[in-house]
């Protein structure tokens, strides 16, 4: 084995720096902030277990940018869409956020998917006032902090959890429930909302467990099977819920299954197959099929990306349209500044694919839709056929002073 | 060739100043170019190798790190972020250097001490402590941050001793595994200590964490600068990082040359012989763990103040291996090696990989075709930024096979492991 | 505390523990065999293990696409994927040994250990890279073979799925195969010789390098087989799934006595049972204060305790004489 000499190493180091430097482009924006470019960023998990939903958000936003950028382009601006991958991890989200605020061309952020990522990242956005419009973050804390630059077009978990519990008690008529959550900001808190309301209604809570396990649910399932609850509620996202439910059925557990909007993805049936057919889940955003202007959207989406829109794609689309229109408004007044865009977004009114959108004083959607759906078939391609069992329009709770 | 030029003072001075000045100017004019920033960093590295008179070298280093970098960092906040991260990892690398490099104890769970330090300030510098002790006394006033730098050191040192005690009699391989287990235990505890008593708030993390106060605000106003927190804090934290790194280097140097340092190296070479020579094994090993851990504790406190939000995901096995890769790359037991290793690996992670990823995305969006392959067909899951494990792995394996003494080894290591 | 409930779930937890235990045992074998001949912890073994799982899933998905999955009897399918997984993992282990460990054989102990860690990390992302390019997804799901989910009633409250039985049966077969190989064949004798004293073995005419490679091959194959079984049992895998089970399996190997093959089997079983019991009973016993999430640190705590109080393990170490 040739041992390397110091100078060889140093020359190699220098050479590699140069090599990287030369190949790292030129195509890369060397230009300083040009007045003529406006960028819209998206942050969602594009890799890992939740990538299906994250991709949906990105593609929905991309569709909106491509379709609606005409107005700004006529004013002389170049419009770009910059997707970021937050990997569903808070520190990646925060790191990307710091990158985003450093790029002065980015005027709005569409994201995130996970409330646990959105909350710390929005602290970074707040530093410079860049507006964040969330298509999917349902945790109350996101807007409860009252930041002027944080808004959402979806519903809230404190309502969604109650909707789920109402359905379980009132329609499914369950007497006992076992609740499992994924220990994230989102999963744990919606499980807690479900639990609180179910207890109030007299449903017996046989267990409340949190787990980060992704593969081997046997040890958790054994006590559940023994306790035999009427329904098992999994507060979390499909990448964990699906194997959980699958193994539950394989173990012979006969209880009914239920979950929040984290279950809303065709990958749920892709992973769990027959185990989840017939299960109910709530959603704080509507399935594409239920939306009034959905047909054109679905067709355009399919034409451009070659697949059906995942949940939250439509919400991301609407969020992006709001952002673009707000930017146009501020552009008309001359200079485009992040604070002005944020103010314009808060005042925006849009009749979008997901319905009429307007924000209240803390950024919640004034009339959010909540759905209870049933999984219709074990074929992931037929996820859009899931039946809507209940549809409600509920105003968000009054912001606490 | 450049090496030879750098060996002579006059051309060296010219090259160094030209490189520094030129690259800084270039970055200032094209702030979004990662390439140019890397050239700037490279020119700082050049300083180290240039054979310049000591005073001049110090002056240039201070100018580069103390003036040019902050200026560039203000122009593009991302660079400030990189500089601070590099500083934090340099401190961590120096700390691990004591345990692995000097004392030869392979600690694979080093990030646990970092976590302990970070959580200590996070809990008391945020409303989290109210959940533990009840009442409304927390968060502590930001002034406590400075006190907590010391608290972090103390708590981490205790954790180091706690880890050291059971592993005293273990040899290399088992030691590594137990320390790995310890690191994981700390992470799992951090992730699950939200019941029965909510100490760490589990995976949801702790936020918002207090930052040290800008006590020099009146000074700034007197000079006519209105202190804008968004601009001041990065610079402030950068200064703090430099301070901590400076102290760490100083302490390391003193330890290296002291009888403690020599005792450690004796233990590393041959435990039995060291014991025969009268080296108190137990005390020295515990001291190694405690010392190494304390540096991690101090930067941990800084880290949580910087991030405002921490959660257990920042303290995984990946981070431990990352720090290990840094000192392996740079040279175990060598202070300049640790600094170099930390810088290279952090820059690789934060700049190169991410830049490559962004670039690839740009090409993909533009639908560029290379050698007949349409890049928009690249699988969406292929994100180059994610492959830091592969890089770490390659670094470790290749370094071990081709240059186990590291890039900037101490002379003793070179004789021991071969090489020039 | 519902005593009836606690007793009621006991048999099921026992079954879970045994299934898990056998899997750990198979993985632990890889660690213990390599340690036996080289006194070296093959850190990358956890990735060798998960590569087997990936080979299994790719083959299954392929079979599904070609329509073989329905056409062939499940036993044949299972044998096919097991053999494939074992083969690929075994070969990978040999490649790793040749490239990353053999050049470092004479270096101080720290060096190959670090190299092994590097290989482990490298492989994780290499698998991810491969799967991203091949399938644009790296969280893969094993296609369900419905027949494996049939449950057999043992009594009114206890039932076992065919899947668990198959996993245990396959593991037992592999363990028996290994035991026979090591104790009843000439090759096995060579391995034991090298494990005991390398120089003496080479003096006896044994090609030490070849035997070492063979050890890696066999250990890797065991790991690969365990990977396939893991995938079949738990369905969802990703390139990083191997790390924690690998760590636990090493704990099991140490628990049973490192270098000691029956020790690894025993250690695996004990660890699997302990883990299953901890996970299922912990929250019931503590009223929800501490739950299943602590089951991972259980393994590490056991490791630490064993190394402090009984470093030779349950059945005693089998390591070579120090020259």
Predicted local confidence at residue B367, as pLDDT: 63
Q: What are the tokens at A93?
A: 């989200």
Q: What are the tokens at B334?
A: 């060598």
Rounded mean pLDDT, A83-88: 86
Predicted local confidence at residue A18, as pLDDT: 52
Predicted local confidence at residue C266, as pLDDT: 92
Q: For chain A, give me the number of helices (H) and strands (E)?
A: 14, 14
Rounded mean pLDDT, A66-76: 87
| Chain B residues with CB-CB distance to C137 below 8 A | 381
Predicted local confidence at residue A31, as pLDDT: 38
Asked if the model's pLDDT at residue B416 lies above 90, the reply is no
Shortest CA gap C183–chain A (Å): 34
Is C8 within 8 Å of chain A by CB?
yes
Position C322 confidence tier, pLDDT thresholds 50, 70, 90: very low
Position C87 confidence tier, pLDDT thresholds 50, 70, 90: very high
Nearest to C118 among B104, B185, B400 (CB): B400
Asked if the model's pLDDT at residue B82 lies above 60, the reply is yes
State how far the Cα of B318 lies from the Cα of B325, in Å rounded to an integer. 10
How many C-beta neighbours within 10 Å does residue B411 have?
Answer: 9
Say if strands B373-374 and B369-370 run parallel, antiparallel, or are unpaired: antiparallel
Asked if the model's pLDDT at residue C144 lies above 90, the reply is no
Chains that touch B (3 or more CB pairs under 8 A): A, C
- Cα separations (Å) of B197 from A181, B115, B127, B202? 18, 19, 15, 11
Q: Which residue has the tokens 């319905």?
A: A355
Shortest CA gap B329–chain C (Å): 12
Mean pLDDT estimate for chain A? 84
Nearest to B380 among A5, A13, A46 (CB): A46
Q: What are the tokens at B23?
A: 């690259």
pLDDT in tens, C169-205: 988 898 888 889 988 999 999 988 888 888 888 898 8
Asked if the model's pLDDT at residue A28 lies above 60, the reply is no
Asked if the model's pLDDT at residue A380 lies above 90, the reply is no
Of C55 and B14, more confident: C55
Phi and psi of C290, rounded to 5°? -120, 130
Rounded mean pLDDT, C96-101: 93
- CB distance A90 to A60 below 8 Å: no
Is B359 within 8 Å of chain A by CB?
yes
Closest residue, chain C, to A52 (C-alpha): C137
Rounded mean pLDDT, A284-312: 80
Half-sphere exposure of A77 (CA within 13 A, CB side): 26
For the four alpha carbons of B12, B14, B17 and B18, in that order, the dihedral sign comes to negative
Rounded mean pLDDT, A388-399: 83
Q: What are the tokens at C200?
A: 């003496």
- CB distance C272 to C18 below 8 Å: yes
State how far the Cα of B403 lies from the Cα of A161, in Å rounded to an integer. 58
Asked if the model's pLDDT at residue A245 lies above 90, the reply is yes
Question: In sequence order, what DSSP letters do the residues of A259-325 get, joined into one string?
Answer: E-GGG-STHHHHHHGGGGTT-EEEESS--GGGSTTHHHHHHHHHHHHSSPPPTTHHHHHHHHHHHHH
Predicted local confidence at residue B6, as pLDDT: 64
Rounded mean pLDDT, B81-97: 91
Task: Give the 3-state DSSP-derived string for chain C, with helices as H, strands as E and coil as C.
Answer: CCHHHHHHCHHHHHHHHHHHHHHHHHHHHHHHHHHHHHCCCCCCHHHHHHHHHHHHHHHHHHHHHHCHHHHCCHHHHHHHHHHHHHHHHHHHHHHHHHHHHHHHCCCCCHHHHHHHHHHHHHHHHHHHHHHHHHHCCCCEECCCCHHHHCEEECCCCCEEEHHHHHHHHHHHHHHHHHHHHHHHCHHHHHHHHHHHCHHHHHHCCCCHHHHHHHHHHHHHHHHHHHHHHHHHHHCEECCCCCHHHHHHHHHHHHHHCCCCHHHHHHHHHHHHHHHHHHHHHHHHHCCCCCCHHHHHHHHHHHHHHHHHHCCCCCCCCCCCCCC
Position A130 confidence tier, pLDDT thresholds 50, 70, 90: very high
Position B198 confidence tier, pLDDT thresholds 50, 70, 90: confident
Provide the β-strand partners of residue A349: A358
Predicted local confidence at residue C226, as pLDDT: 93
Q: Which 3 state secondary structure label does DSSP give B369?
A: strand
Q: What percent of chain B has pLDDT over 70?
A: 90
Predicted local confidence at residue A1, as pLDDT: 36
The whole-model pTM stands at 0.85
Position C217 confidence tier, pLDDT thresholds 50, 70, 90: very high
Asked if the model's pLDDT at residue C1 lies above 60, the reply is no
Q: Which 3 state secondary structure label does DSSP give C170?
A: helix
pLDDT in tens, C18-45: 999 999 999 999 899 998 888 888 999 9
Shortest CA gap C224–chain A (Å): 18
Nearest to A91 among B77, B313, B385 (CB): B313
């Amino acid at each position: 084995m040739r041992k390397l000499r110091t100078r060889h190493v140093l020359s190699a180091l220098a050479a590699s720096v140069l090599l990287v430097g030369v190949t790292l482009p030129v195509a890369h924006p060397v230009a300083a902030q040009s007045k003529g470019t406006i960028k819209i960023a998206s942050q969602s998990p594009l890799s890992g277990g939740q990538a299906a939903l994250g991709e949906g958000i990105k593609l929905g936003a991309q569709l909106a940018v491509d379709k609606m950028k005409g107005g700004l382009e006529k004013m002389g601006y170049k419009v770009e869409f910059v997707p970021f991958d937050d990997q569903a991890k808070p520190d990646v989200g925060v790191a990307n956020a710091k990158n985003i605020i450093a790029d002065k061309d980015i005027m709005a952020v569409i994201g995130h998917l996970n409330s646990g990522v959105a909350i710390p990242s929005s602290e970074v956005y707040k530093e410079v006032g860049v507006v964040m419009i969330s298509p999917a973050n349902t945790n109350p804390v996101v807007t409860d902090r009252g930041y002027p630059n944080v808004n959402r077009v979806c519903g809230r978990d404190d309502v969604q959890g109650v909707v789920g519990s109402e359905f379980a008690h009132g329609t499914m008529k369950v007497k006992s429930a076992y609740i499992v959550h994924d220990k994230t900001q989102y999963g744990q808190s919606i499980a807690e909302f479900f639990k609180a309301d179910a207890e109030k209604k007299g449903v017996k809570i046989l267990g409340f467990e949190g787990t980060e396990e992704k593969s081997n649910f046997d040890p958790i399932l054994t006590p559940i099977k023994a306790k035999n609850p009427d329904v098992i509620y999994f507060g979390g996202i499909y990448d964990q819920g699906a194997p959980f439910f699958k193994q539950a059925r394989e173990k012979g557990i006969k209880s009914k299954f239920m979950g929040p909007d984290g279950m809303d993805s065709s990958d749920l049936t892709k992973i769990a197959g027959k185990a989840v057919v017939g299960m109910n889940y709530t959603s704080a955003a509507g399935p594409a099929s239920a939306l009034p202007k959905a047909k054109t959207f679905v067709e355009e989406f399919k034409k451009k990306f070659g697949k059906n829109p995942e949940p939250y794609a439509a919400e991301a689309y609407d969020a992006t349209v709001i952002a673009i229109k707000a930017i146009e408004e501020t552009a008309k007044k001359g200079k485009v500044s992040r604070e002005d865009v944020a103010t314009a977004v808060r005042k925006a009114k849009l009749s979008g694919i997901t319905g009429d959108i307007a924000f209240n004083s803390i950024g919640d959607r004034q009339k959010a839709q909540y759905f209870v759906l049933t999984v219709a078939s074990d074929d992931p391609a037929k996820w859009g056929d899931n039946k809507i069992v209940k549809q409600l329009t509920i105003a968000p709770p009054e912001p606490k002073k | 060739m450049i090496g030879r030029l750098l060996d002579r003072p006059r051309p060296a001075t010219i090259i160094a100043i030209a490189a520094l000045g030129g690259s800084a100017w270039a970055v200032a004019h094209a702030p979004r170019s990662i390439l140019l920033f890397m050239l700037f960093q490279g020119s700082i590295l050049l300083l180290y190798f240039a054979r310049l008179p000591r005073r001049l070298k110090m002056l240039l280093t201070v100018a580069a790190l103390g003036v040019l970098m902050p200026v560039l960092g203000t122009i593009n906040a991302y660079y400030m972020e990189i500089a601070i991260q590099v500083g934090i990892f340099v401190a961590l690398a120096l700390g691990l250097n004591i345990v692995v490099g000097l004392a030869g104890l392979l600690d694979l769970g080093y990030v646990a001490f970092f976590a302990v330090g970070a959580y200590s300030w996070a809990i008391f510098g945020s409303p989290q402590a109210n959940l533990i002790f009840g009442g409304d006394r927390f968060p502590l006033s930001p002034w406590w941050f400075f006190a907590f730098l010391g608290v972090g050191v103390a708590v981490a040192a205790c954790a180091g001793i706690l880890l050291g005690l059971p592993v005293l009699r273990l040899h290399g391989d088992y030691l590594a595994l137990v320390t790995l287990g310890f690191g994981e235990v700390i992470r799992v505890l951090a992730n699950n200590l939200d019941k029965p008593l909510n100490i760490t708030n589990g995976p949801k993390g702790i936020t918002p964490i207090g930052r040290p106060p800008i006590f020099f605000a009146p000074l700034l106003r007197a000079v006519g600068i209105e202190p804008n927190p968004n601009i001041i804090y990065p610079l402030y934290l950068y200064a703090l990082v430099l301070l901590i790194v400076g102290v760490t280097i100083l302490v390391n140097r003193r330890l290296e040359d002291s009888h403690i340092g020599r005792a450690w190296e004796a233990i590393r070479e041959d435990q039995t012989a060291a014991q025969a020579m009268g080296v108190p094994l137990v005390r020295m090993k515990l001291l190694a763990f405690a010392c190494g851990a304390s540096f991690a504790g101090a930067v941990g406190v800084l880290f949580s103040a910087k991030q405002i939000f921490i959660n257990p995901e920042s303290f995984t096995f990946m981070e431990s291996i990352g720090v290990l890769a840094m000192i392996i790359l740079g040279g175990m037991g060598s202070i300049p090696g640790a600094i170099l290793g930390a810088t290279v690996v952090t820059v690789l992670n934060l700049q190169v990989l991410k830049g490559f990823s962004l670039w690839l995305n740009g090409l993909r969006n533009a639908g560029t075709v290379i050698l007949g392959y349409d890049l928009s067909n690249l699988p969406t899951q292929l994100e180059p930024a994610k492959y830091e494990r592969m890089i770490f792995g390659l670094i470790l394996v290749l370094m071990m096979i081709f240059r186990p003494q590291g890039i900037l080894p101490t002379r003793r290591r070179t004789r021991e492991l071969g090489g020039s | 505390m519902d005593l009836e409930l606690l007793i009621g779930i006991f048999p099921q937890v026992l079954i879970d523990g045994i299934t898990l235990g056998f899997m750990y045992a198979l993985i632990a074998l890889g660690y213990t065999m390599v340690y036996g001949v080289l006194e070296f912890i093959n850190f990358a073994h956890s990735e060798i293990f998960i590569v087997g799982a990936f080979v299994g899933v790719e083959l299954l998905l392929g079979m599904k696409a070609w329509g073989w999955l329905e056409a062939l009897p499940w036993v044949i399918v299972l044998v096919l994927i097991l053999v494939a997984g074992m083969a690929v993992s075994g070969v990978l282990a040999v490649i790793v040994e040749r490239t990353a460990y053999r050049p470092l054989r004479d270096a101080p102990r720290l060096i190959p250990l670090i190299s092994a860690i590097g290989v482990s990390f490298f492989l994780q992302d290499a698998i991810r890279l491969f799967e991203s390019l091949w399938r644009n997804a790296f969280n893969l799901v094993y296609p369900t073979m419905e027949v494996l989910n049939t449950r057999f009633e043992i009594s009114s409250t206890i039932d076992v799925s065919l899947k668990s039985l198959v996993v245990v049966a396959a593991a037992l077969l592999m363990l028996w195969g290994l035991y026979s190989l090591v104790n009843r064949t000439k090759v096995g004798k060579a391995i034991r010789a090298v494990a005991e004293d390398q120089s003496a073995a080479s003096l006896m005419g044994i090609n030490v390098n070849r035997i070492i490679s063979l050890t890696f091959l066999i250990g890797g194959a065991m790991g690969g087989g365990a990977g396939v079984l893991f995938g079949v049992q738990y369905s969802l895998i990703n390139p990083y799934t191997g790390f924690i089970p690998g760590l636990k399996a090493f704990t099991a190997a140490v628990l049973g006595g490192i270098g000691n093959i029956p020790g690894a089997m025993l250690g695996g079983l004990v660890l699997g049972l302990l883990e299953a019991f901890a996970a299922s009973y912990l929250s019931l016993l503590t009223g929800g204060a501490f739950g299943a999430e602590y089951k991972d640190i259980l393994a590490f705590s056991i490791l630490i305790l064993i190394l402090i109080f009984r470093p030779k393990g349950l059945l005693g170490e089998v390591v070579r004489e120090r020259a």
